[in-house]
A = this chain, B = another copy of it.
Amino acid sequence: MIPHTSLNLSGERFNVIYKFRGDEATARGKARGICFEQTIEFPADLVGDDDIRGQIFGRVESFRPLDDIHFEATVSYAAESSGFELTQLLNVILGNSSIKPGIRVQRLELSERLLAAFKGPRFGRDGLRERLGVKERPLLATALKPMGLSPESLADYAYQFALGGIDIIKDDHGLANQSFSPFKERVELCAAAVARANAETGFNSIYMPNLTAPADQIMDKARFAKQAGAGGLMIAPGLAGFDGMRRLADDDNIALPILTHPAFQGSFVTSPDNGISHYTLFGQMARLAGADGTIFPNYGGRFSFSRDECGEIVEGTAVSMHNLKPIFPVPGGGMYLDSIADMSAFYGQDVIYLIGGGLHRGDGLAETCRRFRQLIA
């Protein structure tokens, strides 16, 4: 037996709603198992009747069938088991259980005290609208690409996009710090190009470089980008870590809007019975880590997300999470101007439309962007 342990805990707990695949007995076993796997990872019979058993063990709070082979359980954990850190919170939510097939995180219900440890999105929907001076209409975004173009050519595109009234002009996530497009040179030229266009148009377009970079360079690059006039930052937490994004978002000296990019995160969602739901990964977790907008592949493009899955993400961007602001869904990926009518019915006003390669077909970039903007208005 381990030493009898008294803990001075608050009693506050947070809930994770899991979906299990299997017959009822299997699913109940998985629900019970997760109470140990995500906490003590230790033989329960070696723990006496103490606060580790009473508080640290996960608790199955409810259990119900979804269909013949899927069951849903709410499991609660002591708020203190998270250490009030994002890395350890994610670890309690799914750490080792990510390795077990047939377990999927459906939703998080995080308590007020736990969420108070996270700043979450600095701007959120309202803050980003205010910064961009756009009251009601959807926001427009595009990506600078393809990989291989010089900083000068990318900056020329940025200028034309801004002339055409695109609100957010971001690096493609494949633009890093390659020899053919060094980060600093690109950021300076693109930020200046957007500023030049704004001076002509009176718009408030912003340039958002890709901050997905080596761990020891992210903060320096962010400071450089801000200094150079970048109006926001994009980062892929699948590559840089969710907490790498959280750190960037929390820094009061940087204080720029953040878009999260889904690169390298897809494996969490591609198998419907494993991993994490679209709702939680691209909605709730993105907000926990401080994103102001969450990029994801739109239904009907070259990716496989369904309308329902995209709808889930939209819900996750706005569901009440105490102090964490609602953020923008940013559907993109193989979108074209003629998708807008259908998307408008689906997403409504609180959305950022991300159109990349599609803008390059037509009568000149700036002109195509103006049509994009007219379509929205």
- Which residues on A are within 8 Å of B, measured CB to CB? 2-3, 5, 7-9, 33, 37-43, 46-47, 51-52, 55-56, 80-83, 85-88, 90-92, 94-101, 143, 145-150, 153, 172-174, 176-180, 212-216, 236, 238-244, 246-247, 262-271, 274-276, 297, 302-305, 333, 356-357, 360-361
Contacts and interface: CB of A to CB of B under 8 A. Distances in A.
Nearest to A211: B87
Contact of A263 (B40, B96, B241): B96
Contact of A5 (B90, B150, B239): B150
Contacts of A40: 145-148, 174
13 contacts: A33-B302, A41-B146, A42-B146, A80-B180, A91-B174, A91-B212, A92-B174, A96-B263, A98-B264, A99-B266, A99-B304, A214-B243, A271-B271
A39 B175 CA distance: 9
Given A56-B147, A274-B271, A360 B46 contact: yes
Nearest to A269: B99
Contact of A145 (B41, B212, B247): B41
A3 B173 contact: no
Contacts of A239: 87-88, 90-91, 95, 241-243
A37 B39 CA distance: 39
Q: Chain A: interface secondary structure?
A: loop
Number of copies: 2
Contact of A55 (B94, B148, B213): B148
For A87, A145, A215, A244, the residue with the greatest tally of chain B CB atoms inside 10 Å of its CB is A87
Contact of A267 (B3, B56, B274): B274
A361 B43 contact: yes
A243 B246 CA distance: 15
Contacts of A42: 145-146, 356-357, 360
Nearest to A145: B42
Closest CB pairs A-B (n = 3): A241-B241, A99-B266, A98-B266
